[in-house]
Amino acid sequence: MIKVGFTGDFCPWLRVEKEFEHGNWQPLLDSVRPFFLQNDLNVLDLECPLTTANTKIKKTGPHIKAHPETATMLNYLQCELVATANNHFKDYGWEGMQETYETLQKHQIQWLGSGANLEEASKTFYWKKDDTTIAFINVAENEWTTTFGKEPGCNPIDLVNVFNKIQEAKDKADFIVVIAHGGHEHYELPSPRMKKWYRFFVDAGASAVIAHHTHIISGYETYKEAPIFYSLGNFFFDWEGQRNKPWNKGMIVRLNFEKTKPVTFEMEFTSHNNEEVGVFLMSEIDKKAMQNHLLQLNEIIGDDEKLELEFHKYIETWKPIMNTWIQPYQGKYLPSLYKKGFLPSIINQNKKMLFTNLIRCEAHRDILINSINPNQ
C-alpha cells in the first residue's frame, strides 16, 4: 500500500517566519511531523512564493511571501512535492516565482501547477513507487495568478483541459489525483457548481479530488468510490486578527493507494497559530467535535436541495456588498451612503439584466473581462 499525505494552505510568514529566523522553528512542527513521516509522499499547498522579491503584481487582495529558506520546514515534514496553483503564488511576479523554483530545487522539492507559460503550468506530475504510478493534476480558480498562454503563472481550472489531462493520464498512471484550489473563502460548504465540477473530475477518471483555498475545513464525500475533499482548510498560515477561529483549524489527509482497489483515506485534525505559534494535533475532544460537525456538513453535501438552500443563504449575506461594488459610486463616503440607503441605485432593471447576461454567459463573460480588465 502506498500512502500519500496532503495539506491545505502552507504559508510560513509573519510570526512563523520570525520563529524561523530565530532558529526556534522545529518545535512548531513536532506535533504533526509523525503523520508525514509515515507517508511515502507528502504534497503541501505552497500558498505563497518563497522569495525576497519586492515587485508586486497588480491585483485585488493582499500580497504575501515568505523567506526562501523557510523551505527547510518542508524538508522537515518530508515534503517532496508542492502544489503551486493558487491565488498567491504569483504575487511577486515571475521574479518571485523563479526564486521559489530555485529554492525548491536547492531543497530537492518538486512542484506542479505553475510555470513560465500555460504549457509548463498545466503539466501533469507523474510519481512512481514500485509498480504503481500516480498522476497529479493541479488547478486553481481564475484570479490574478493564472496564465492563459505565453505569460508565467498558475494552471487555471478549465473543464476541457482538465478532462483532457485526465484522459491522457489514464494511459500512463494507475491512479489520478486532481488538486484544486478554489471555493468561497470562510464558507464551509462547496457551492453546487463546485460539487458538480469535482464530481465531473471523477466521472472523467480521477481517483480522488483534494481541494483547498477557503481557509476553513469543509465536508467530504465518496463519489463512485473516489474520495472528494472540498477543502482541507489552512495547514500553517498565520494571519493578524485570526485567532481561535475556523481559520486556525485544518485537516490533513492521507490517501492510501493499492492497485485494483478504490482509494481509501485517513484524516487528522490540527489547530495552528492561535496565541501559541505552531501547528498541533487537536485534542481528542476537539477532534471528536470536528468529526461530528463534518458529518453534518457531509449530510448537506449529499443532498442537492439542502446544498442549494445553504448556498442561497450564503449569497444573501453577500448581496449588499456585491450591489455596492457594482455601483459607480467611488471614494470613502459615497459607497457608504448608498449602502445605508441615502443614495439611490442608478442601475435600472434593464441594466441589471444586461449585467446578468454578460456575466452568466461564458462567451459574453470572456469579452467583458477582457474589456474592463485594467491590466490589459
In tens, the pLDDT along 151-200 reads 999 999 999 999 999 999 999 999 999 999 999 999 999 999 999 999 99
Query: Residue 110's closest CA among 97, 119, 101?
Result: 101
Contact residues for 192 (Cβ-Cβ < 8 A; gap 6+): 304, 307, 308, 311
Query: pTM of the full predicted structure?
Result: 0.92
Element (H, E) at 215: none
In this structure, the number of other CB atoms found within 10 A of the CB of residue 303 comes to 12
Query: Residue 321's closest CA among 342, 338, 309, 344?
Result: 338
| pLDDT-derived band at 376, boundaries 50, 70, 90 | low
Whether 362 has a pLDDT exceeding 80, the answer reads no
CATH fold for domain 2-302: Purple Acid Phosphatase; chain A, domain 2 (3.60.21)
pLDDT score, position 243: 92
Q: Pinpoint the alpha helices (H) of 81-191.
A: 93-106, 118-121, 159-170
Whether 314 has a pLDDT exceeding 80, the answer reads yes
Contact residues for 44 (Cβ-Cβ < 8 A; gap 6+): 6, 7, 10, 74, 77, 79, 81, 82, 83, 235
Sheet holding 208-212, edge to edge: 125-129, 132-140, 175-181, 208-212, 226-229, 220-223
Whether 82 has a pLDDT exceeding 80, the answer reads yes
Alpha-carbon distance 365 to 360, whole Å?
A: 7
How would you classify residue 334: left for phi > 0, otherwise alpha for psi between -120 and 50, otherwise beta?
alpha
Mean pLDDT of 287-301: 98
Element (H, E) at 2: strand 2-11
The tens digit of pLDDT for each residue in 134-155 reads 999 999 998 889 999 999 999 9
Residue that the C-alpha cell 460537525 belongs to: 293
pLDDT score, position 201: 98
Query: Residue 310's closest CA among 301, 319, 318?
Result: 301
The tens digit of pLDDT for each residue in 323-335 reads 777 777 778 888 8
The mean of the pLDDT values for the chain is 94
Mean pLDDT of 68-79: 98
Domain borders along the chain are: 2-302, 318-372
Mean pLDDT of 239-246: 94
Query: Which of the residue ranges 79-83, 126-130, 362-366 would you say has the lowest mean pLDDT?
Result: 362-366
